[in-house]
Amino acid sequence: MMQEYKQVSSRKFVQVLRQVTLNLMGQSEDSMVLTGDAMDQEVILNDAIEREHWTIALMIYHHGSFLCYFFGNSELASQLAERAQIIMDKTLCSATFLVCNHAFLQGLISFELSRKTGEAKWKSIAKESIEKMEKWAKYVPSSCQHKLALLKAEYAFFLGQDTNAAKYFEMATEGSGKNGFIQDQALSYERAGIFYLARGDVSKASECYGQAHNKYLQWGAKGKADHIRINFPF
């Protein structure tokens, strides 16, 4: 119908979001690539770049980064997030929801890479994400306060401040659940499981992984739930 009425851009937006959903549901060959029943990532991305349809390219880079982080490839996630940020800066993107979620994602990716590499640039990006989220949390607490709590939990985890990390992870899981963000609650439980396992608390880690698995299933992300089941002990 959209193609019939020449709503090409709108159709491509829907294709991207549908493929993201299929990947999360486990209905794609590669969970980290937006290629499947809804679209071919390479074809649509190359066409968007050639035609300078930057919003479509931005969506592919942002959601691709999200999937890579979700499925455990923070290095590739950071590369895609950087490309998305370049487009956002170039086009002066004013889509507040996307800008907020991208800053949140960049922060999570950067804290993960800070622990892996020890490179200062990742800590700098992560701290900047916290600063942005602190501002948004003042105006939209129901959407952003739990995101801020998760970023602060990751920062405390990075610094080795276990008491603060545990406190903020709990705030993130409770806040996201209270406001109906099941996907963020699932992610918060997953990240808390990683924290507790790193600290040697296998019982608490197992509890968090189990909660994450159940919340991902509740969200409909069977592919991600299976990823948790296969890769983490609980």
Nearest to 59, CA basis, from 37, 29, 91? 91
Cβ neighbourhood burial of 50 (10 Å; 0-12, 13-18, 19+): exposed
Which residues in 40-196 belong to E strands, given as ranges? none
Q: pLDDT at residue 168 above 90?
A: yes
Q: Name which residue leads in pLDDT, 18 or 4.
A: 18
Q: What does the pLDDT read at residue 96?
A: 75
What are the Cα distances from residue 131, in Å, to 29, 104, 117, 138, 189? 37, 11, 22, 11, 23
State CA 171 to chain mean position distance: 18
- What's the rounded mean pLDDT across residues 69-78? 97
pTM value? 0.93
Q: What does the pLDDT read at residue 4?
A: 42
Q: What does the pLDDT read at residue 6?
A: 46
Q: pLDDT at residue 133 above 60?
A: yes
